[in-house]
Chains A and B, each alone.
Chain A
Amino acid sequence: AQKITQTQPGMFVQEKEAVTLDCTYDTSDPSYGLFWYKQPSSGEMIFLIYQGSYDQQNATEGRYSLNFQKARKSANLVISASQLGDSAMYFCAMRVNSGGSNYKLTFGKGTLLTVNP
């Protein structure tokens, strides 16, 4: 079974500073994908970034980067130059790619990020 652990229920960061949100995962499958989603108070889940298990380089998307450490089974999200609009719940998720029959996302419990002016 797959499991995602986000140990930080809440995080605070000053505007314009960088912040790291932690995510560890557990799976025995060699092929998997790791995702980060942002959920503002409105409820919509917004896709941020993706990292495949075989990708050699860490993924980056604008101000978002994913610090992928395969041996430690961690996939931390780094947000650079935080903005007030970054205040939201952030979810780490995993999808196992092998097996061929189940591509559901398994989510962590989320981290509530608050950006202070």
Chain B
Amino acid sequence: KAGVTQTPRYLIKTRGQQVTLSCSPISGHRSVSWYQQTPGQGLQFLFEYFSETQRNKGNFPGRFSGRQFSNSRSEMNVSTLELGDSALYLCASSQGLAETQYFGPGTRLLVL
């Protein structure tokens, strides 16, 4: 089975722009979660989706949003980018909500 894929792998944006990151889960997995990883804050939970519904959201401003499609693929969007949004964004998929999460390679976002 193919693993979790994330596109793009690297991204450079400037402050004020918006960005959309994509995640394709392992085939058959219906749950997708997103995490932000920074040197200062470590790994922080962003969102959790299951069957196209956002089940939970972490403590992030409204500039961070996401969605899940009927084929379980997920996207997250960050509007009005700030320098502090520079991070590694990791997507994880699991068969169900209480199952082991398997991570993708991540998208490295640099905001200049």
A binds B: yes
**B101 touches which of A44, A105, A110 (Cβ 8 Å):** A105
The interface on chain A, measured as residues whose beta carbon lies within 8 A of the other chain's beta carbons, has a size of 23
Q: How far, in Å, is B66 (CB) from chain A's closest CB?
A: 14
Chain B residues whose CB sits within 8 angstroms of the CB of A110 once the complex forms: 42
Chain B residues whose CB sits within 8 angstroms of the CB of A106 once the complex forms: 45
Contact B97 A103 (CB under 8 A): yes
Contact B43 A43 (CB under 8 A): no
Give Cα A23 to B33, complex, Å.
23
Contact A37 B55 (CB under 8 A): no
Q: Quick one: which of B1-56 are within 8 Å of A by CB?
A: 31, 33, 35, 42-43, 45, 48, 55-56
Contact B92 A45 (CB under 8 A): yes
Contact flags B74-112 to A (C-beta < 8 A → 1, else 0)? 000000000000001010100001101111111010000
Contact B106 A44 (CB under 8 A): yes
Give Cα A98 to B103, complex, Å.
23
Contact B105 A107 (CB under 8 A): no
Closest to B102 in A: A47
Contact B104 A44 (CB under 8 A): yes
Indicate if A28 sits at the interface (CB-CB under 8 A).
no
Indicate if A56 sits at the interface (CB-CB under 8 A).
no
Give Cα A107 to B43, complex, Å.
6
Chain B residues whose CB sits within 8 angstroms of the CB of A102 once the complex forms: 48, 55-56
Chain A residues whose CB sits within 8 angstroms of the CB of B48 once the complex forms: 102-104
